[in-house]
Structure 1
Amino acid sequence: MALNFTRMGPATWVARIDHITLYLGDEDGAVDRAQADLAAKVAASLPAVRDAASAYLDLFVDRTKACGRSDEPWWLDEIEFRDPAGEDGTAYALHFTLAGDDGGLWTVEMRAFEDEHRPFRFERRQG
């Protein structure tokens, strides 16, 4: 899947996959190539990456307590490739919302390996 990037501010580039916004950093006035390569790999396997991150959240989060419904789906809104974990281009973060959890933003940090993408951290912010 070819991603089209647009500049958003002095140090950020964005692309979209349907309703999902991807954020990448800037490298000398252009899209950071390592992040763009990782974004292309994630885009090519987005359903599997999203499912892995959602399953990771389900290990720790009781959706009934979080939003009132155990079957409420995790809604993937954004993917951030701006090296959230300081992992030299191998980490990225998926940002989810959960209907009924007003103002909650759930983030799963993933690490890319040659043959898989694995979650390694999550957090919830109230906005």
Structure 2
Amino acid sequence: MKGLTSIELAILLAIIIVIAVAVGWYMYTTFLSSTTGAAKVEIVSAQYSISAKNLTLQVINPGPVNNVGVASITLAGQQCSVGSSLTIPMQSSPVTITVSCGSIPAAVGSTLQGTLTLTSGASYPFVATVVS
């Protein structure tokens, strides 16, 4: 009996590569399915009232986290007052969040840049319309 020819070695190598790819794919999908989803929010609308000095956000939490905690909200570089337990429940309809932002100089009809930061550390920028 002679040694393996080059075609036999190529077939053996191909089989080993197929098995290695299959095992790698199995490990990847197993790890991927065991990780939990990150909190997500969608900011539908944002309005800053000059007279009331507050910011009103319409926010949706589509999941997969049941209650998403809000760590901070900034508007035009100014920190808004957020309660210690402000959460957004998971639902398909928007939730209204109203926070006090103090006096921010802006003209009615203009827009202000803001950021909603979750307790997980994720930040979501938004643009607020200034109303009277």
For normalisation by structure 2, the TM-score amounts to 0.26
- Structure number with greater CO (CA < 8 Å, separation at least 6) is 2
